[in-house]
Amino acid sequence: MPVIETTIDTSSEAFRRNRDAMTPLLERLESELERARHARSDKARKRNEELGKLTVARRLDLLLDPDTPWLEVAPLAALGMYEGDVHGAGSRCGIGVVRGREVLVHANDPMVKGGTVYPMGVKKTLRMQAIAMENRLPVVMLVDSGGAYLPLQSEVFPDIDDGGRIFYNQAQMSKANIPQVCAVMGLCTAGGAYIPAMSDHVVHVDRTGAIFLGGPPLVKAATGEDVTAEELGGALVHCRDSGVSDYFASDDADAVRIVRDVVTTLPRTAKAFGPSRAPADPAYDPRELYGIIPPSTTIPYDCREVIARVVDGSEFHEFKALFGPTLVCGWAWIHGYEVGVLANNGILFSDSSQKAAQFIQLCDRMGIPLVFLQNINGYIIGREYERGGITKDGHKMVNAVATSTVPKFTVVVGASFGAGNYGMCGRAYGPRFLWMWPNAKIGVMGGEQAASVLVSVKNDQLAREGQPPLPPEFVEALKGPIMEQADKEGDAWYSTANLWDDGILDPARTRDVLGLAISAAANAPLEGRKVGYGTFRM
């Protein structure tokens, strides 16, 4: 297979400028991750130690097989929200290896607000469940939560995508034979009591783990009965008397040991697909991506340079290289897994949209996963292009993306604007995973465009009223706040805080993260896929 020949001069001034612009973004990423994982109050640490609990990091260390990969998901959820200290939305989550098999792990962090569940914590839990269901991964839950954060209960409880959906999903996973193993390592109160109750296997830690629909204060208020948490819902109560819990653990370490033993007993199924050839490092250093990516999404570059630093051996079999050149499509391998790659090299025209639809159909019929490297300002607009059919051709691409049945993976490496987000498999189009690079931008359109559109709308309104257009000073006053808001709400940090993605990636790690995600996706069967498409408007 042909090897992409790079044209990048790593000693050039442009390369240095790009690298210098990327460096502070990478430093911020590392700083934010470190803070999310380790910044805890002395009071919370002391309380955790007094209860004899392990930190969530130590629990994960004991749970996961040594020297195996860990694909953390949404580590910066709720970044900057809720006074800035609900780190990771109150949990550590990801895909890891336990007793030789891939599992999805959801672990409450009791040192973050006592494990109290905030609205973004609910959203993160639902995202983890979606990953488990889509990829048919066994679920391990290390539960240690004070329940819903009551001041925000209206955002946690009532709606279709609020807390109750967690238990609904548990029932659906059980019906689908997706194993769920729960370790009760702290409080499971009110609705949270259903998390262990609806799991297949429940491990309960003596003295610190407690399950009850109403805690001691509520019992006292409702019935007048004085009772301790241990008497009400401790390990002995539920292992010996109620039967809610299945395994009695003396402490956290013992609980994790039992969880690992339980995972060993879970039924195993063969993966739907595996590597089709031996993995090979790219021909070029992935860290060169720092100097390739421009600081502005308006500066063009050849997306093949990105592909060359992500795929095995930098080998790439390009499809329709001369047709629709603003979208690069072709076949490659990532850590030995064959993939179809779609990467933007400019705005989407009719020909590039048609090429995308055909390429997606081919990969879908062959059962080859799709990787989208998204850097798109949208589809071409204007009278000539509408007459040429850009709307119906864009529809073909969006239709193919929406209805394809193979696993899809998206990395936003630059811009993600407008309908281009849809055509390149944005969050709404069902990628198994979606990540952002720290330089990425997302929105209906860029800030400058949005501001100019609103100025134009206002001037059109004034013209209809027979008034002159806005003077320059009014234009600037109107555009400033709009551009500021678009910049704030369109950056990677805002996206990841709101769980619009599964995390911000160091570009040099993209290849490895994709390999882990593809491996996880292979747990879901491809058999029974109904390959087909909706109406293509011709």
- Are 164 and 195 in contact by the 8 Å Cβ rule? The answer is no
Classify strands 327-334 and 317-319 as parallel, antiparallel or unpaired: antiparallel
C-beta of residue 447 within 8 angstroms of C-beta of residue 422: no
**Measured CA distances, 151 to 118, 157, 429, 534 (Å):** 9, 11, 34, 45
Q: Dump strand ranges (E) for 384-479.
A: 408-417, 433-436, 441-443
Compute the distance between CA of residue 497 and CA of residue 86 in angstroms, rounded to an integer: 11
Q: Are 459 and 469 in contact (CB under 8 A)?
A: yes
What's the alpha-carbon Rg for the chain, to the nearest Å?
A: 25
Going by DSSP bridges, is the β-strand pair 327-334/408-417 parallel, antiparallel, or unpaired?
unpaired
User: d(Cα 187, Cα 228) in Å, to the nearest integer?
Assistant: 13
Rounded Cα distance, 114 and 200, in Å: 26
Q: Which residues fall within 8 angstroms of residue 200, CB to CB, at 6 or more apart?
A: 174, 179, 180, 181
**Contact yes or no for 349/342 (Cβ under 8 A):** no
Amino acid at 361: Q
Planar angle of CA 259, 262, 266, nearest 5 degrees: 135
Model's pTM, two decimal places?
Answer: 0.95
| Cα 414 from chain centroid (whole Å) | 17
- Alpha-carbon torsion 235, 239, 244, 247, what sign? positive
Helix (H, G, I), strand (E, B) or coil at 217: helix
Enclosing H/E stretch for 241: none
pLDDT in 10s for each residue of the chain, 538 residues: 899 999 999 999 999 999 999 999 999 999 999 999 999 999 999 999 999 999 999 999 999 999 999 999 999 999 999 999 999 999 999 999 999 999 999 999 999 998 999 999 999 999 999 999 999 999 999 999 988 888 999 999 899 999 999 999 999 999 999 999 999 999 998 888 999 999 999 999 999 999 999 889 889 999 999 999 999 999 999 999 999 999 999 999 999 999 999 999 999 989 999 999 999 999 999 999 999 999 999 899 999 999 999 999 999 999 999 999 999 999 999 999 999 999 999 999 999 999 999 999 999 999 999 999 999 999 999 999 999 999 999 999 999 999 999 999 999 999 999 999 999 999 999 999 999 999 999 998 877 888 888 889 988 998 999 999 999 888 888 888 888 888 889 999 999 999 999 999 999 999 999 999 999 999 999 877 778 877 777 6
Give me the pLDDT at residue 538, please: 67
* Locus of tokens 């066994």: 138
